[in-house]
Amino acid sequence: MDIFFTIVGFCLMLLGIVGSFLPVIPGPLTSWFGLLFLYLTDAVPNNWTFLGITLVIAVIVFVLDYIIPAIGTKRFGGSKYGIYGTTIGLVIGLIFLGPFGIIIGPFVGALIGELAFADKDTDSALKAAFGSFLGFLFSTLLKFVVAVVYFGFFMRDFWEYKSVIF
């Protein structure tokens, strides 16, 4: 059972890193579940304080992921349509442009959202789209860093107890 939990935990870790870029997968929370699975093995001693602290951090980052792009958009004069456009643009950009869609999609989506639905002039829409894009990039970077750090914790503990797991 330890090997199964370790493999599931490792898969969740990888999914968490990927989820840092995809809006449908909560990256740090998924990575935290990977840590949880590792700690559920009999090989790795339970450290509930560590799991509790990392859970709180994952939840905070999860909440901030929804707040940061909104702050970026509002700070640069955008509306809720710019925020919606950022998310929709990310998904559509990812589908049609692959990894490049992560960069191009949110900006274009926010710009279209501002121009089409918020009735903004081009300069205001560009400024709002840029703010939304910056907020998206910052929140994505934050999620990615947390997921990678959690992966580092996972690998550290796995390496320490690998002889007991296998």
What is the value of pTM for the model shown? Answer: 0.84
On the 0-12 / 13-18 / 19+ scale of CB atoms within 10 A, 159 is: exposed
Buried residues in 57-69 as b, exposed as e (16+ CB within 10 A): ebeebbebbeebb
Confidence at residue 18, expressed as pLDDT on a 0 to 100 scale: 94
Give me the DSSP letters along 85-133: HHHHHHHHHHHHHGGGHHHHHHHHHHHHHHHHHS---HHHHHHHHHHHH
What digits encode the pLDDT tens for the residues 32-63?
Answer: 999 999 999 999 998 999 999 999 999 999 99
Two structure tokens written together for 30: 């998924």
What digits encode the pLDDT tens for the residues 61-111?
Answer: 999 988 887 788 778 888 888 888 888 888 898 889 887 887 788 889 989
